[in-house]
Amino acid sequence: NEVFVSPNKFTMSTVLSACGRLGALEQGKWVHSYIDKYGVEIDIVLGTALIDMYAKCGSLERAKRVFDALGSKKDVKAYSAMICCLAMYGLTDECFQVFSEMTTSNNINPNSVTFVGILGACVHRGLINKGKSYFKMMTEEFGITPSIQHYGCMVDLYGRSGLIKEAESFIASMPMEPDVLIWGSLLSGSRMLGDIKTCEGALKRLIELDPMNSGAYVLLSNVYAKTGRWIEVKRIRHEMEAI
């Protein structure tokens, strides 16, 4: 005889997470309908999973409705999911409002994920002073050790603000080795400003970290071509052929 075992909240949150990664909105909505149909309580775990899924699947309004419906049950995970969601859509002011509601109105301390969202919101609008203020708040007020993602946001923010030298100094001050995210952020900012020397340095670092990255070779070849360094262009093309 077959036995029907209904999925628990952990299973459903795992499925919702998968839907979010795949951008499978219809399947995510079906899971949400299943939850409602069988009267499953949407607690913090499920609520956060739904917010994250809807955000990644392009349904901001549904994410907001789930967040609002959590009411007084909202914790740091739910707030962080909503802040990251708003940052993803470039809704910087709303992002700051939710952060204020969380920390001031409800006295909930933010975590590392919260600040990834907040700093991401600052990047969207190029709010360098706000970004520096939040980065300082994270470390000094809340005692959170910055991760490579936080540093990446700040490098991106400096670069987008045209502050390439400051970005390089910030990278030099990092307590960990910069990764492809960091050098990619510096590259993006320096390309935008036409800073060939910094572009070259960032691309060389990217190639060191990821020798199979053909895109970095192409960009470096273009940088050399732009400055008439044809011997270097030829060398890079030979290296590309050897990949």
Note the pLDDT tens digit of each residue in 164-208: 999 999 999 999 999 999 999 998 888 888 888 898 899 889 889
Closest CA to 115 of 101, 95, 129: 95
Residue pair 53/20 in contact by the 8 Å Cβ criterion: yes
Task: Report the pLDDT averaged over residues 220-227.
Answer: 83
Whole-angstrom distance, CA of residue 131 vs CA of residue 34: 41
Residue pair 43/9 in contact by the 8 Å Cβ criterion: yes
- Asked if residue 49 is part of any domain, the answer here is no
Looking at the structure of the chain, the number of domains it has is 1
Average pLDDT, the chain: 92
pTM of the model: 0.85
Residue pair 93/87 in contact by the 8 Å Cβ criterion: no
Q: How confident is the model at residue 5 (pLDDT cuts 50, 70, 90)?
A: low
Token digits of residue 192: 């935008």
Helices (H), 57-147: 60-69, 76-88, 92-100, 112-125, 128-136
- Asked if residue 89 is part of any domain, the answer here is no
Does residue 3 carry a pLDDT above 60? no
- Asked if residue 192 is part of any domain, the answer here is yes
- Asked if residue 67 is part of any domain, the answer here is no
The CATH number of whichever domain residue 212 belongs to comes to: 1.25.40.10
Backbone angles phi, psi at 190, to 5 degrees: -70, -35
- Asked if residue 158 is part of any domain, the answer here is yes
Closest CA to 70 of 45, 97, 37: 45
Domain extent at residue 231: 147-243
The number of residues in the chain equals 243
- Asked if residue 201 is part of any domain, the answer here is yes
pLDDT at 1: 45
Does residue 20 carry a pLDDT above 80? yes
- Asked if residue 131 is part of any domain, the answer here is no
- Asked if residue 59 is part of any domain, the answer here is no
Q: How confident is the model at residue 209 (pLDDT cuts 50, 70, 90)?
A: very high
| More confident position, 147 or 210 | 147
